[in-house]
Amino acid sequence: MKWLDLLDVRLKEDAALSRLYEEKGPITQGAQAGCFLVVHKETGVHYSMRVYQNKDLSQWKLDELSSALAAQRKLNDAPEDEDLRCFSRLHEVLGSPERTLVVSELTPTQGGTCTDLFSLVERLGRIGEKDARQIFTRLVLAVKAAHHAGVMLRNVKPEGVQVYKPARPRGCTHRLPRPRATARPACPAPRSPGRLAPLASRAPC
């Protein structure tokens, strides 16, 4: 796989990114920690951006990134499905002589509960059975929907799952958390219909 084949947009120089996106700083918590918050200057939409230094992209890493991006693009092209909307969608991939930039849909960052599942369990010690059942069910349905779209997922980890529950005024009925996963699909096509490999965490966002 050639590096140019990964790209949606090729930048002549690294500074050209500033004409397209405004960088707001690093994302320090949640499933997209390690990415950067960016704002598209034309639309005003907020995204997360994962940065790869080209000098660090060995052939092995390039092939791995290529497989992940091919699978994410396949998910983007799949028929609309509520369960597939659990995945943070790939927006575009940009490349300059110095860096490769993977821009993805931003997971929710505000709410009564808005963090990755690992941090939530670490903070609370445990999650109630009712909430845990809903989170697990949504994850299973999301993986199943991805499998039906021809994409296998791997390495489902709690730190790669964003749990979001909108803040509600006192007196309102409880609303259960809704998980949102940052997807790193492993390969574009499954080998057998009965086997599912899980979702990876954090990279690419």
Could you read off the pLDDT of 37-82 as tens digits, one per residue?
999 999 999 999 999 999 999 999 999 999 999 999 999 999 888 8
Looking at the DSSP assignment, which residues form a beta bridge with residue 93?
102
More confident residue, 203 or 141: 141
pTM for this structure?
A: 0.78
**Does an H or E element contain 73, and which?**
helix 59-77
Average pLDDT on 146-160 reads: 84
Span of 87-91, 143-147, 185-189 with lowest mean pLDDT: 185-189
Distance CA 102, CA 89 (A): 11
Of the CA atoms within 13 Å of residue 22, those in its CB half-sphere come to 9
> Residue 112: what pLDDT?
52
- Spatial distance between the Cα atoms of 151 and 23, rounded to a whole number of angstroms: 31
Beta-bridge mates of residue 146:
none
pLDDT exceeds cutoff 70 at 88:
yes
pLDDT band at 28 (very low <50, low <70, confident <90, very high): confident
Q: How many CB atoms lie within 10 A of CB 58?
A: 9
Query: What does the alpha-carbon distance between residue 26 and residue 159 come to, in Å, rounded to a whole number?
Result: 17
